[in-house]
Chain A
Amino acid sequence: MSHVSPTITGRASQVVLNLYLVIFFLYMFLPLILMVLAGFNDFSPPSVTVWKGFTFRWFGELAADTRMWTGLINSILIATLVIVIALPLGLAGAFLVTRLQSRFNGLLYGVMVSPLLTPGIILGISTLVFWRDLSVPGGLFTAAMAQATYIASYAMLMFMARLQRQDMTLEEAALDLGATPARAFRRITIPFLKPAILTASVIAFLQSFENYNTTIFSIGGEHTLVTEIGSRMRFGLSPAVNVIGMIFVVLTFFFAALYVLFREREKRRAAAALG
C-alpha cells in the first residue's frame, strides 16, 4: 500500500484534514459555479446577485458573434502551426541531450528549458522585437513563434522522459545487423516515440489554445479566441463570456475525467504487472 495507514494520523487530525479539503474545494469550485449560473441569468452585465429569470439567449448571442468565430479559427491556425514547429524542435533537442556525451550537456539543457522559466510576456516581447527587426510585423505567425519557443521545451521534456526508458539494445542490434541509421530511426525509434508524439501534440495544442500572456504581446492587431475573451472581460461585459466559460468548464471536466481514468488504469496495470 502506498498510502499511510490511518492509525498513523489520529482520528482528530483526519477530521481536520477532511474539513480543510472540503473548504479548499469549495474555494476552487464556487467561483466556477457562479460563473456558469450567470450565463443563464437574463441580465447583463453578468451577475448572480440580480436574478432576472432563466434564459438561453446568451447562447444565441455568442453563436452570432463573428469576432469570436474568427478568433476561434485563428486559435486553431496558431495551434496547428505551433505543433508543426515545436514538435520537431523538441524532438531534436531531446535526441541531442540524451545522446550527446559532452560537458556542455548541462548548459545545453539549461538553455533549452529556460523558456519554461521565463515569464510569458517576455517571450512575446522578445519574439515581436526580433521579427520586427527582420521587417515581419506582429501577427498570427509571430504569436505562433513566441508560443513555440516554450512549447518546444515542454515537448522536449516529454520526449526525454520516453527516450530514457528506451531499450537501446534494439537500436544497436538493428545497426549491427546492417540497417542504415535512417532505417533504424524510421523503424525503431519513431514507432517507440509514437505515444509521446501523440501526447505532446495534444499538450502543445492545448497550451497554445489557452495561452494569453505570450500571445497578447506578440500578435499585433490580430486576435485569438482567448485574447478576444480578455478584451471582452475588460470592455463591454456580456453574459456571452459566461457561456464560453461554461463550454470550457464542461470540456475541461470531460477531458480531465478521461485523463484520471486513464491514469488509474495505467497504475492498476503497473501494480498487476508487479504481482
Chain B
Amino acid sequence: MTSLLRTFGPSLTAVILLLTGLWIVGMIVAPQLIMVDKSFWYLDRGGDAGALSVRIDSLYNDVDLLGWDKTDTEALEPSAERDLKLVEIEQQITEKKAEITELETREIKPKKVYSLANYTLMGAAHFAIFAKTIFAALAVTVIAFIVCYPIAYSVAKLAPPGKAAIIMLGLIVPYAINELLRIFAWLMILNYNGVINVMLGFFGMEPVPFLESGSGVFIAMVYAYVLFMVFPIYNTVETLDTAQIEAARDLGAPMWKIHLRVILPHAKPGIAVGAIMTFMLSAGSYAVPYIMTRGIAAPWFTQLIYNKFFESNNWNAGAAYAFTLLITCTLFIFLLMRIFKIGIKDIAR
C-alpha cells in the first residue's frame, strides 16, 4: 500500500483502487453471486394463482356494493342510527380494502422460497445431456492435445526460422477467423448433400446423417477449438533450452524418451493452459450446437440453459443450470492444477 502511495500519490491511488474495486465487485463477484443466489430460490405464488385472483375480484365487488349502501344510507334523514350505520359501512370498506392490498401484494410479489428445486428440476433426460456435453468436451481436449503437440513441437524446435514463420501464419489465420464461420464451413461438408456424402455416394455408399445424429456437433467442435491447444504448448516448448534435448540425445536417449522425460515435463504449464481453454470453450460453446443441430438433433447443455432463460423464461432454473456448468469448469481447472502441480500464476500469463 505504501509503495502504491509513494509512486502514484493519494489521488491516483484512489482512482486505481476505485477502478479495480468496481471491476472486481461490480463486474466479477456481484453478478456471479446474484446468479448463484437466484439458482437457489424460486417464487411461490401461494399454490393457486387462479383462486387468488377470483377472491380479489369478489372483494372488489363487495367494496362496490358497500359503496352503494353508503350512498343510500347518506340519503336518509340524519339520526343517531344513520351515523352508526355509516360508521359500520366505512369500517367494512376499510377491512375489505386492507384484505385486497394484502392479497394483491401476494399476487404481484410472490413469496421467495429457498430450496434446491431448480437443481432437482434437471431430471434424468437433462442430466444425460449434461453428461454428453462434458464427455464431448473431455474428448475434444484429448484429441486437441494429440493433434497439436507434434505441431507445437515442430514449430518451436524443428523448423528453420523461415519455415516456422509460414507455419505460424498457417496457424494464426484459422485461429483468428470467426468461430461461427469456421463452424459454418462444416455445415456444408457434413450436410445430407454435402461434400462428404456426395463423395460417399460416388463410392456407392449410403449417406451418413451427420447433422441429424449430433455427431456433426462433435466434428465441428474439434475443428473449432483444436488450435487453442497449439499456442500455449508452443509458448512453453519454445522456452526450453535446445541444448537439453541435444544432451539427452548425446547420452543415448531414444526420441520418445526425450519427449517423455525432457520436453513434456517442461511443457506442463502450456499443456494445462491448453487443456483448460479447450475444455472450457467446448463445454461452454453455444455457437457450435446452435448452428450444427439446426433444431434437428438433440440439444446440448448450453442450449438447455439458453432455453430456460429465453424460451420458458424461468431465470431461476436457468441460473441453476448455468451454475452447474460453472462449477464443473472450476473443478476441472483445480483438478488440472493438482495433476500438473502448477499455480494460478502459471495458468494466466
Contacts and interface: CB of A to CB of B under 8 A. Distances in A.
Contact of A35 (B172, B188, B306): B188
B12 interface: yes
B170 A25 contact: yes
A145 B23 CA distance: 10
B74 to A, nearest CB: 45
B23 A213 contact: no
Interface stretch (A13-21, A56-64, A65-73, A192-200): A13-21
A76 interface: no
B184 A241 contact: yes
A17 B154 contact: yes
A234 B315 contact: no
Contacts of B22: 89
A21 B181 CA distance: 23
Given A20-B150, A46-B188, A3 B160 contact: yes
B348 interface: yes
Nearest to A13: B255
Interface in A203-236: 206, 210, 212-213, 216-217, 226, 229-230, 233-234
Q: How large is the interface on A (under 10, 10 to 19, 20 to 34, 35 or more residues)?
A: 35 or more
Contacts of B164: 3
Interface residues of B, number: 102
Contacts of A47: 188, 191, 193-194
A115 B172 CA distance: 23
B312 interface: no
A256 interface: yes
A162 B7 CA distance: 17
Contacts, number: 275
Interface string B7-40: 1110110011101101110011111101100100
Interface stretch (B94-102, B122-130, B279-287): B279-287
Interface in A90-130: 91-93, 95-96, 99-102, 106, 108-122, 125-130
A3 B161 contact: yes
Which secondary structure characterizes the binding site on chain B? Answer: helix
Contacts of A115: 28
Interface string B194-216: 11001000000000000000000
B91 to A, nearest CB: 39
Most chain A beta carbons < 10 A, residue from B27, B154, B182, B325: B27
B245 interface: yes
Contacts of B186: 31
Nearest to A107: B344
B329 interface: yes
Nearest to B32: A126
Nearest to A271: B161
18 contacts: A20-B150, A25-B170, A88-B19, A89-B20, A92-B19, A99-B8, A112-B24, A117-B329, A120-B284, A122-B326, A125-B322, A127-B27, A130-B34, A145-B27, A212-B179, A230-B180, A253-B173, A256-B172
